[in-house]
A and B are shown apart, each in its own frame.
Chain A
Amino acid sequence: DQQVKQNSPSLSVQEGRISILNCDYTNSMFDYFLWYKKYPAEGPTFLISISSIKDKNEDGRFTVFLNKSAKHLSLHIVPSQPGDSAVYFCAASFLNTGKLIFGQGTTLQVKP
């Protein structure tokens, strides 16, 4: 039972354009959502997060949107750069439980 799903295994965009990565979840009790980025042969690194009480969080080129009614979040990267090419994981957690549930990941390729 996959509680956090990233239905697009891969995405390819042109440099300078917008990248939109999507994530769906099934449990309405999740209260915090995070995005991690992973390059080959490295551990994941934190990118951006959002609390369930918000619907948007922005950090430079990265914006995360949360639609609680649709149980959907998305990560927007504008403008996309070749260095953004990586695997992106969304994750969801319950308040102060320590349990973190990741999606399957989406491989983003940004073409020069």
Chain B
Amino acid sequence: EAQVTQNPRYLITVTGKKLTVTCSQNMNHEYMSWYRQDPGLGLRQIYYSMNVEVTDKGDVPEGYKVSRKEKRNFPLILESPSPNQTSLYFCASSFQTGQETQYFGPGTRLLVL
């Protein structure tokens, strides 16, 4: 089954404790992206990658890091989480540029205390 998976689905952590949210897709897609969803703000793009070893900032990259060492994986790293990073995070992938249909993962709900 073609899908985007994220782990963990739910996470409670404390300020300053480094964490990684994993994202994996099995569709051989070139493009992957991370978004956060917050009430009243919709979805905001954090980082995206159009190919292996190629990553670019979205609208809200501050406080986040990503890497794309292999095509199927695109982990999101919070080196020192803060309460304002409490949010619902989605990973997505698409065939090439992101303008085609993007397939989203089920989301990761993060609470930073």
Contact = CB atoms under 8 A, between A and B. Distances in A.
Given A32-B99, A98-B50, A98-B98, A103 B106 contact: no
Interface stretch (A13-21, A43-51, A55-63, A76-84): A43-51
A43 B92 contact: yes
Given A43-B4, A96-B97, A101 B102 contact: no
Interface string B36-75: 0000111111001110000010110000000000000000
A89 B43 contact: yes
- How would you classify the secondary structure of chain B's contact residues: helix, strand, loop or mixed? strand
A46 B92 CA distance: 11
A101 B90 CA distance: 14
A96 B35 CA distance: 18
Contacts of B90: 43-44
Interface residues of B, number: 28
Contacts of A99: 45, 48, 56, 58-59, 98
Contact of A101 (B4, B45, B56): B45
Contact of A93 (B49, B98, B107): B98
Contacts of A43: 4, 90, 92, 104-107
B26 interface: no
Contacts of A105: 42-43
A41 B45 CA distance: 19
A44 B104 contact: yes
B44 A98 contact: no
A98 B48 contact: yes
A44 B105 CA distance: 8
A95 to B, nearest CB: 8
B101 A46 contact: yes
Interface of A: 6, 9, 32, 34, 36, 41-46, 49, 89, 91, 93, 95-105
